[in-house]
Structure 1
């Protein structure tokens, strides 16, 4: 269970009558002496969550909180890895919160795609209700011998320099749809990027819906020149109102993806996987290889000549 990993402890708070507590605008990092230093995110503001109205505080609507960010630091056995890609969900679904897992719904394409691209298989792909294979099972690249537990899947994911988090830290929501999110408070995404200067890519896992939440809470950051859109149409639309000259020297590429959600039924599994492989996993793995070569060169003994 993930509860054994302190940094992955779920911060689930289901309170129908109380809004989440206000979060500070700071985050911490550790210097080379092991001392915690406070980082203030210039482009992060924490709105004051409004109290639920009588109509929104029903028993079917609750406040919930997302997970802690998932990186290589969550696994003591892993050596240090430079984080190159931060993938952002919007907010965990009811299923994800219940199972204490990122993208926990069985029909969410995220871990199926990650497995195809990183060398494992999420599960056998058999529906527990019908005992028949899911439609996507016929397209999976790896056989059942490559099935590994969720705990190992996230470890492989993080070991390759990928990180996971959510745009929305806490919110009130009825059900699991992003469109039902109300009174939300965002996570400090700029602070995470500031603590991880090796980061090259921010990926929005739920397409235009997630991108809208990102732009809503980090519009000033988008206009700052730190971010630039990827070349796909959906990413370009998010930054359409931003002058191109502000994007020329950006260090982080913003990728608005084809959604992995089962609600995005207009895209087949193959279409989703092809997009993610081209725009997320291939660039990320190439970045990891580049980092490894750089480290290898730095650690290579200098030849001495007489």
Structure 2
């Protein structure tokens, strides 16, 4: 397995209040140079439904995130990974999550899926001292959750 690097900048600013963390970008996200780039990933569909908005491109997604004080990043900076499989992740190097917290107004941290939760709790929690709130993965691999069920669980990010 080759080492793969996270080359997508975090999205945040000084007024970001919530941080949503994934584990590591999928192959499609890495190709598109933005988060949740696989057409079957339901992350952006969930946000569209929750906020009654339609995203047309990456720029509209970034503007939405800033307007709604949402920061977006991943726990892992680099790792060995097969394709997009979280289960195959090995030899991780972490992103500096504390940097976002220090440079913003983060009050809550949500994690998108079990792997992001596992890595956050194992490696990051001691540095940030902010417990993460787990949300079900928006990945197409999470077939147990319909779009409606995801929306129901994810609506807490608006509170």
TM-score, normalised to structure 2, is 0.91
Matches of 1:63 and 1:105, distance apart in 2: 17
Contact 1:62–1:174, Cα closer than 8 Å, also in 2 = no
CA distance in 2, matches of 1:193, 1:173: 27
Q: Report the aligned-residue RMSD.
A: 1.7
Larger Rg belongs to: 1
> Paired residue for 2:110?
203
Measure, in 2, the Cα distance between the counterparts of 1:202 and 1:66.
21
Give 1:104 deviation, angstroms.
Answer: 0.2
The structural deviation recorded for 1:99 is 1.0
**Alpha-carbon distance in 1 for matches of 2:59, 2:86:** 26
Is 2:103 the partner of 1:162? Answer: no
Contact 2:75 2:120 in 1 (8 A): yes
Distance 1:159 1:220, change over 3 A: same
Q: Find 1:100's aligned residue among 33, 36, 40.
A: 33
Unaligned stretches of 5+ in structure 1?
Answer: 1-55, 74-80, 123-147, 229-253, 284-306
Cα displacement string for residues 147-190 of structure 1 (whole angstroms, at most 9, x for unaligned residues): x2232122112211001011001112111011111111101112
Is 1:150 aligned with 2:66?
A: no
* Corresponding residue for residue 20 of structure 2: 87
Where in structure 2 are the equivalents of 1:251-266 lying within 5 Å? 254-266=132-144
User: How many residues are matched?
Assistant: 159
Q: Which has the higher strand share?
A: 2
Higher relative contact order (CA 8 A, sep 6+): 2
**1:227 counterpart = 2:154:** no
CA distance in 1, matches of 2:24, 2:138: 13
Matches within 5 A, 1:61-76: 61-71=2-12, 73=13
